[in-house]
Amino acid sequence: NAGVTQTPKFRILKIGQSMTLQCTQDMNHNYMYWYRQDPGMGLKLIYYSVGAGITDKGEVPNGYNVSRSTTEDFPLRLELAAPSQTSVYFCASSYYGQGTGDEQYFGPGTRLTVT
């Protein structure tokens, strides 16, 4: 199993540009999540999905969009990039989303700089 994979690893965007961060998991997990991590801070939830076709906002959704057409893929779209979106983005997945244990498995992250 590759686990959770994210592309690209690094990206520099100009203000106003758009891009899609890709996330794929091969563990047949129902639940998927996008977090952002600002320098020296903990992770904050952007969006999450409980299955194909079902997504919902997290704590910091403004400026982002998601879709979930398959169990495996959960892309994050940035429209009109702003410097405040400079961050490291992590995708994660879990099987049940609740219950005993059931930790989230994280991808390696995408480091995004908006200038």
90, 28 contact by CB (below 8 A)? no
**Closer to other proteins at the Cβ: 16 or 40?**
40
The SS3 call for residue 41 is coil
According to DSSP, the β-strands at 54-57 and 76-78 are unpaired
One-letter amino acid of 12? I
25, 70 contact by CB (below 8 A)? no
Q: How far is the CB of 37 from other proteins (least distance, A)?
A: 9
**Closer to other proteins at the Cβ: 6 or 85?**
6
Q: How far is the CB of 84 from other proteins (least distance, A)?
A: 18
Residues in contact with other proteins by the rule CB under 8 A:
31, 33, 35, 40-45, 48, 50, 56, 58, 88, 90, 92, 94, 96-98, 100-106, 108-109, 111
